[in-house]
Chains A and B, each alone.
Chain A
């Protein structure tokens, strides 16, 4: 039986996320999934050096590049061909909900067969259908 391919859309590629990513990669419990990661915002080298609170505040008070995010996510989906896209509704999602939903709407139009699961948002997209996977991964 082939493993389910899951692409997780995280907030940012900061240290904490990369640490959790490594932990997920190494986990035997999660080995039933093939997991790959994408990021709503990719941090610059300077931002990666900032303390977490400063980095978060800088992002929350800035803007999000909707086109960049869409293109990056689309490329990841085309390269990785996931069965499900799981959206971590972390601090970036909380700061830019309409922008991220707009990107996800476009992704859903481009890839209608791709299931999209939103953490904590049961009625949104296919979250209910993939609730068990969300439960395992978040």
Chain B
């Protein structure tokens, strides 16, 4: 092989190699560009999804808060009124029939709220303590009526036993249970998880 031929071969080979390298480079760059575009697209879709989820979540939290503000103040009012009436009854040996009727009517109102607002109370894990409170008030109500009956027939011994029981139910159940319920229903927190004081209040 002459020098000329050798140089031609080398140059040809170099040119072919450069051409092949350029083709491969272009191909890889295009492939990379496509992959980057696909990744960017996937990222944008994911970002949009997260934005939508956050927006739905914020909207849900807002709607839940709105529902709570519609429902819970009424419940707090009823429970607070019931507790005050129960306290007045426990502290007085003379109970007016009007007060007893009012307590009966408020207990029924509370029961109605439990039925109507079941979904919200269940979601916020506060249905059961209010349900228990309602049952205690119903029991308390029967006892007050018994107390008045025993007084009306002048059975002082049984009237006294009933009064002791009334005091006991108020001191050990109604008073300790009502405040944690009111605190839970009044909180601004969006996440009403069961708190320690609620469990303590039920003991």
Residues of A participating in the B interface, judged by any CB pair closer than 8 Å: 16, 19-20, 23-24, 26-30, 52-53, 56, 91, 94, 120
A29:B145 contact, CB within 8 angstroms: yes
Measured between alpha carbons, how far is A65 from B55 in the docked complex, in Å? 43
B149:A53 contact, CB within 8 angstroms: no
**Secondary structure class of chain B's binding surface, majority of residues:** helix
Q: How far is the CB of B115 from chain A (nearest CB, A)?
A: 7
Known: A56-B128, A94-B118. A29 touches B146 (CB 8 A): yes
B128:A29 contact, CB within 8 angstroms: no
The size of the chain B interface, using a CB distance under 8 A, is 18
Q: What A residues does B142 contact at CB under 8 A?
A: 20, 23-24, 27, 29-30
Q: What B residues does A120 contact at CB under 8 A?
A: 112, 115
Known pairs A28-B158, A29-B145, A29-B146; list 9 more (Cβ under 8 Å): A16-B135, A19-B139, A20-B135, A20-B138, A28-B150, A29-B142, A30-B142, A52-B131, A94-B115
Q: What A residues does B139 contact at CB under 8 A?
A: 19-20, 23
Query: Does chain A have a CB within 8 A of B80?
Result: no
CB-based nearest B residue for A30? B142
